[in-house]
Structures are given as C-alpha cells and as structure tokens.
C-alpha cells in the first residue's frame, strides 16, 4: 500500500511542473489547444517507443476501442478543453480551485461504482483539501458568471472521471498501454482545433511537458490505482498545486504568502491522514484474515 501512495505523490509532483513548462511555451505565442496537441503527440511518441523497446509489446490494441474512445474524450479532450475555457472566461486561480473539487466527486464515484467506504477521515481530508486549495489559489475572484462556475465544476468532474476510468482500464491492461490508447483517441479529438506548426524554440519545452507531467505523471498514477482506492488517490494528488507554487517561487520569484503556506500544509496534512489511515485499515484487514 505504501508504494501506491508514494506513486501518487510522485505523479502529483510531476503534474506540478505543468505550469512551469506552459509558462515557457506561452512565451512563444503557442495557443492552449496547440500546446495540448503537441504535448499529447510527443507523449505518444515517447510512450510508444518505451512500450515497443523496453516492454517489447505493440502499444496499440484492438480490444475495447469504445472504452478508450470514451476515456480519451473525457480524460484528455473534455478535461483540457473545459479547463482552458474556464481560465479564459474567469481566471487561473478560479479554474484551479474548481478543478480540485475532483476529490469530492472521486469519493462519491468511488462509493457508487467501486463500493469504497465513506469513512470519517476521508470527510475530514476533503475539508482540509478544499480549504487548503482555496488558500493556495490566492486572490481568487469569485465574482464570475454562472457559465464559468458550471464549466469549472464539470472540469473537476471530468478530472475525477479520469481516475475512475483508469481504475477500470488497469484491471484488464498494462497501465502504459491504457495511457497510450487514451492519449491516441484524445489526440484525434484535439486535432481539428489545433495548429500543426510551432516555433522551434518551443519544442524543447514541449518535450519536457510531454515527458515529465504527462508520460511520467500519468504512468505513475495509473500504476498507483492498481493499489490505491480512487477516492484516496484523488485526495493525495492534490499536493500538485503545492508543488506548483513552490516551483513558481523558486524559478520565477513569484510571491509565496503565509496563507498559501498554510494552505499547502493543510493539503499535505490531508494526504498524510489518508495515507496513515489507509495503512491502518490494511493492517486491520490482514489481522482479521489471520484469525
């Protein structure tokens, strides 16, 4: 169990670098859809090469194509489209805040679909996480229109659905192939909205975006879901914005307030709570089996 939580933490740390790479890429005038398109394309190349060379397998599969099409539509195309649209009509802080309603949806979906128990520590952790994300998001302007509120909440829901669909995917297939097929269909959905040329200077950052927060991040998370409940993984993954604000402080000199530090502490505290209680419950289950 410890390995699963560690993998979630590593995945969230990788996702925390997304904003850093995006900041450099935006300097070259690359629009959001095009950035996501090339991010997915480069990840497919990296991931496909890894599967073929190191795993000695064909990254493509003809099985469950309908499932992967749905997964790519929801987890890649819909999530990023809704996220960037929410940023456009509101603010980054507001969009990030609503993305992290995902743990609440994950707890509900985990209970409904996988019969994961709704425990006291999960409720406490959710409260800590939501409070922490509000503090980490900083000066969020809440005077936005109802459309931004709706798209932001649906973004959080699609983010939660990613974990649910991944849980189904890794039951039947290697996590790397699940990710490859999901990204492949996501790329098909993204292509009509993207430009196919980018400045040469942006390519190294696009490769970094593909390798760290996408290839490493999602492979690690998919492996973690083999061992960790969807609801618990989603809560632990909220360390992502904490990593992001620390990196922004170190690399770009962005301000880091006391309230943001407090928010980060609450998020990390929630992650530790979920991890520790998960370990205790696993230990109790093992003791019951031995008696």
pLDDT at 287: 36
CB of 87 within 8 A of CB of 206? no
Tens-place pLDDT, residues 5-32: 899 999 999 988 887 888 889 899 888 8
**Statement: residue 227 has pLDDT above 70:** yes
pLDDT at 58: 94
Tens-place pLDDT, residues 161-180: 999 999 999 988 999 999 99
**Statement: residue 289 has pLDDT above 50:** no
- Average pLDDT rounded to a whole number, residues 35-60: 95
**Statement: residue 73 has pLDDT above 70:** yes
Average pLDDT of the chain, as a whole number: 86
pLDDT at 10: 93
pLDDT at 285: 43
pLDDT at 280: 56
Q: pTM of the predicted model, to two decimals?
A: 0.84
Higher-pLDDT residue of 274 and 48 is 48
Structure tokens at 123: 């409720």
Which band of pLDDT confidence, cut at 50, 70 and 90, is reported for residue 251? confident
- Average pLDDT rounded to a whole number, residues 68-85: 91
% of the chain surpassing 70 pLDDT: 91
- Rounded to whole angstroms, the Cα distance separating 176 from 174 reads 6
**Statement: residue 87 has pLDDT above 80:** no
């Amino acid at each position: 169990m410890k390995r699963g939580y560690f993998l979630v933490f590593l995945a969230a740390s990788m996702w925390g670098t997304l904003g850093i790479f995006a900041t450099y890429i935006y300097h070259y005038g690359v629009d959001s859809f095009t950035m996501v398109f090339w991010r997915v394309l480069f990840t497919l190349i990296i991931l496909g090469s890894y599967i073929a060379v190191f795993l000695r397998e064909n990254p493509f599969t003809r099985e469950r194509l309908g499932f992967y099409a749905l997964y790519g539509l929801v987890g890649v195309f819909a999530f990023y489209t809704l996220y960037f649209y929410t940023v456009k009509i509101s603010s980054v802080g507001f969009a990030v805040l609503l993305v992290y309603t995902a743990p609440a949806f994950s707890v509900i979906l985990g209970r409904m679909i996988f019969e994961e128990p709704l425990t006291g520590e999960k409720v406490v952790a959710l409260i800590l996480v939501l409070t922490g994300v509000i503090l980490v998001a900083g000066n969020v302007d809440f005077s936005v229109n109802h459309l931004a509120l709706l798209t932001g909440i649906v973004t959080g829901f699609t983010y939660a659905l990613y974990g649910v669909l991944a849980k189904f995917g890794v039951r039947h297939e290697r996590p790397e192939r699940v990710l490859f097929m999901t990204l492949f269909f996501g790329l098909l959905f993204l292509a009509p909205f993207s430009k196919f040329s980018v400045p040469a200077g942006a390519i190294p950052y696009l490769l970094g975006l593909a390798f760290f927060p996408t290839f490493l991040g999602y492979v690690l998370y998919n492996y973690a879901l083999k061992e960790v409940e969807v609801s618990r993984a989603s809560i632990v993954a909220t360390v992502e914005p904490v990593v992001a604000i620390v990196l922004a402080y170190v690399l770009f000199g962005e301000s880091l307030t006391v309230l943001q530090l407090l928010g980060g502490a609450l998020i990390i505290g929630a992650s530790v709570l979920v991890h520790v209680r998960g370990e205790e419950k696993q230990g109790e289950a093992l003791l019951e089996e031995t008696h």
